[in-house]
Chain A
Amino acid sequence: MSKSLKLFAAIGLLLASTSLAQAQDADAGAKVFKKCKACHAVGDGARNRVGPHLNSVFGRKAASIEGFKYSKAMSVAGSGGLVWNDETLAAFLTKPRKMMKGTKMAFSGLKKEKDRANLLAFLKSFSPDAASAAAPEKPKKQEIAAAPAPTEPKAKPVAAKDAPIPEHGVFHLGRAALVEEVKAWDIDIRPDGQGLPTGRGTVSQGEPIYTENCAVCHGDFGEGTGRWPILAGGQNTLTDERPEKTIGSYWPYLSTVYDYIRRAMPFGDARSLSDDDVYAVTAYLLFLNDIVTDEEFELSNENFNNTRLPNEANFFADNRKEEPQNTARSEPCMTDCKPGKAEVTMRARVLDVTPDSKEGEGAGAIE
């Protein structure tokens, strides 16, 4: 059986378990699409980003947008005849790597059938050819456009006259935060380990989690793809012309790694990793930075503070006021301050870097 045939057999199996009877709601799908937005664009002027643009994806042959660098697996599927429609998209979105081993799409999948149905309804609204493909409901876009002028919302007075005024503070405003509420939001971690959740994970457990969730942007070895941050390497480059500021070469505290992954990563799907997953990924990042070398090294809340990052000692407090240009407090010169006529020593390097250029000197300066 050829590769593509095998793939279709796999899709067939998945399709059997993928019902499309769900009612579809494009507006709800727009919300689901937020999970995709980090990599995919759709709508007017949508361009390829980390992933291909999704305009007219319905009816499109897989891997058919020119100029986008697809995975080998996706290209093979496309030339084998895979076309995106309700069934194939639903199957792919359920668990991308299950349907297509080797896809570049790092997203782990939409587990809820309703989310998938809504997302497809949303995407369909950007696929003009999809009308024939059994669209149960046109998106509500036109309705919104044709909606009557907004009427003034009426403020609803709440009959709270009888509610007792709290006693705390000066203005007696706000209410007590419940323990569960504080616990839900208070996830920050300090360098001394305060805030670490109970849990553990090893380097070898971290590797597949990293590969699935992180490598698409940060590279298989933390080397970074495109202009995404480099996470590993760069030791002893901080005085170089082009320093590489990584976890191993620059970051002062390991707690920051755990805290940041847990609060904000994976980009576009924050808070989706378990506490143990985050320990494992953090352990794996230590491994990629050669700070631990044993693949069975386990990081946990118990041993977290035993690991220090190499660059911790190289940060110092703001002392700008002591710099020479700030300590000289004489009146600034007003006349004949410099000898000779001004000569140009440097120009804006390439005039065209300015608004629309693709490459530039400071690439990746801001992340």
Chain B
Amino acid sequence: MPEKQIDRPGTDKGLSRRKLLTAGVAAGGALATGAVSAKAASTPDPLITEIQDWNRYLGDGVDANPYGMPSEFEKNVVRRDVAWLTADSKSSINFTPLHELDGIITPNGLCFERHHGGVAEINPVDHRLMINGLVDKPLVFTMEDLKRFPRENRVYFLECAANSGMEWRGAQLNGCQFTHGMVHNVMYTGIPLKHILNEAGVKASAKWLLPEGADASAMTRSLPIEKAMDDCLVAFKMNGEALRPEQGYPVRLVVPGWEGNMWIKWLRRIELGDAPWHQREETSKYTDLMANGKARRFTWEMDVKSVITNPSPQAPITHGKGQTVVTGVAWSGAGKIKRVDVSIDGGRNWKTARIDGPSLSKSIHRFYYDFEWDGSELFLQSRAIDEVGNVQPTKNELRAARGVNSIYHNNGIQTWHVKADGSAENVEIS
């Protein structure tokens, strides 16, 4: 239970775990915190021999927090942003703290945010969804109408196309939260989009959809009808509760396996047409500039990808050598993850990791590699392979094919350099 022991605040209540880690890393080692791992004891541990406050006095009763929140000792487990990435917080992004999570589900309050016009605040009673364009009968739905359709529950990852986009030119950000945190994995409750479209009657000439948001950017993307009729959902719950405002409350589009920008939040309208609209977010943005100056467009599917979340720069090894858990996440827009390999020597040799937890199509998978660390430096990498046979490429393979200016769709293999003191750094290697 090393994790538990690190989290314990110890005698110095003012020193948070985050501070400890930062201090440890800054000092060139995380040894300061290594002492909490259970070692042979010569003197009795007062935490065992003395009666602790929480063992003597009563705690809060029920309803102290009508909506329960994480322990105060977890207060550093939060989304974080990188201020210089964008001009303004209303059209910006923050990152999921992947290194603090386990399993496959992302808690609602930690799902990264990306807005183009701030978070729309909409009373569900005031929300409408319109279907118009090439349909037999344009329709308007209230939220109450939507909740009368048959619904489904599905777990899907949502990844921003720009995830890892800062790493094209080389290792830049120190932490998987920043290099890979534009992803989350949530169980949605929603209505198959085809049910709603069929209600309006789709004309044979309709080939494209234009879903639109009700926010101040009135976000729009063109979506081919095959995808709409395949697995898209119109979702109003995430992980069992109402969508969070920042995730599109009261209703959003779910476009499994495809880039997050298409998952229109605050979904208020879907138009059907016979050609794509070439909106701002599929021309000026979310197109992939190649080295020759030409650009790919409509690069919807998210490629097979993985990253080791622990250890990583924000989560160094603090327990010293011996039994060590390496863990991470893997996903693919093409389906399930078939296998994840882990290398501790920078890709010279690979061992197949253990996938644990549900293996679902277009969902995050959790993998573990348990090994005995000899205390020498490590070059940790993970390589995911999906059920269609797509293999996660190296960053250099991607650069050779695309150059370094494409911003989007960087699914290259990540390397963490773990030093003998347990600290970790984002590097690129020979």
Contact = CB atoms under 8 A, between A and B. Distances in A.
Interface of A: 34, 37-38, 49-50, 149-150, 168-177, 181-182, 185-186, 188-192, 194, 217, 226-229, 238-239, 243, 245, 247, 250-253, 255-256, 259-260, 263-264, 267-268, 270, 314-320, 323-326, 329, 332-338, 340-349, 351, 353-367
B397 interface: yes
Interface in B67-124: 80, 82-88, 90-93, 116-118
Contacts of B212: 185, 188
Interface stretch (B8-16, B39-47, B192-200, B358-366): B192-200
9 contacts: A168-B136, A171-B150, A188-B277, A190-B276, A251-B283, A346-B428, A360-B85, A361-B166, A362-B84
Contacts of B174: 348, 351, 353-354
A364 B275 CA distance: 31
B278 A149 contact: no
B199 A253 contact: no
Interface in B277-306: 277-280, 283-285, 287, 289, 291-301, 303
B426 to A, nearest CB: 4
B87 A217 contact: yes
The 6 closest A-B pairs by CB, nearest first: A342-B346, A169-B199, A227-B87, A238-B293, A177-B138, A174-B139
Nearest to A333: B350
B36 interface: no
Contact of A256 (B273, B284, B429): B284
A367 B87 contact: yes
Contact of B149 (A171, A243, A314, A317): A171
Contacts of A175: 139-140
B350 A181 contact: no
Given A253-B278, A342-B430, A367-B285, A176 B137 contact: yes
Given A256-B284, A263-B220, A318 B84 contact: no
A149 B405 CA distance: 53
A263 B212 CA distance: 11
Contacts of A362: 84-85, 165-166, 169, 172
Interface stretch (B48-56, B319-327, B388-396): B388-396
Nearest to B280: A260
Given A256-B284, A267-B91, A354-B178, 20 more contacts: A169-B139, A174-B141, A182-B130, A182-B138, A190-B276, A239-B291, A239-B292, A264-B117, A267-B90, A270-B217, A318-B296, A326-B393, A345-B429, A348-B426, A348-B427, A353-B173, A355-B175, A362-B84, A365-B162, A365-B166
Nearest to B291: A239
A317 B276 CA distance: 13
Contacts of B220: 188, 263
A320 B303 contact: yes
Nearest to A334: B350
Contacts of B345: 341-342
B336 interface: no
A367 B298 CA distance: 18
A34 B117 CA distance: 11
B184 interface: no
Contact of B279 (A49, A227, A260, A361): A260
B32 interface: no
Contact of B283 (A171, A256, A317): A256
Given A173-B199, A186-B132, A188-B271, A325 B393 contact: yes
B252 interface: no
Given A169-B199, A185-B130, A316 B297 contact: yes
Contacts of B293: 238-239, 243, 314
A344 B279 contact: no
B391 A245 contact: no
Contacts of A359: 84
B162 A171 contact: no
B118 A37 contact: yes
B35 interface: no
Given A169-B198, A256-B280, A316-B296, A174 B145 contact: yes
**B162, B293, B341 interface centre (most CB from chain A within 10 Å):** B293
Interface residues of B, number: 112
Nearest to B314: A354
A345 B427 CA distance: 7
B255 interface: no
A150 B66 CA distance: 9
B86 A364 contact: yes
A217 to B, nearest CB: 7
Contact of B173 (A354, A356, A366): A354
Contacts of B149: 171, 173
B166 A192 contact: no
A342 B430 CA distance: 6
B341 A343 contact: no
B398 interface: yes
B291 to A, nearest CB: 7
A213 to B, nearest CB: 15
Given A182-B138, A185-B130, A264-B117, A357 B348 contact: no
Contacts of B171: 346-349
B90 to A, nearest CB: 6
B400 interface: yes
B148 A173 contact: yes
Contacts of A182: 130, 132, 138
A252 B429 CA distance: 38
B335 interface: no
A243 B284 CA distance: 13
B369 to A, nearest CB: 14
Contacts of A256: 278-280, 283-284
A251 B295 CA distance: 10
Contacts of B133: 186
Given A177-B139, A177-B140, A345 B430 contact: yes
Interface string B142-166: 0001101110000000000010011
Contacts of B178: 354-355
A106 B293 CA distance: 35
**B88, B148, B350, B383 interface centre (most CB from chain A within 10 Å):** B88
B374 to A, nearest CB: 15
B409 interface: yes
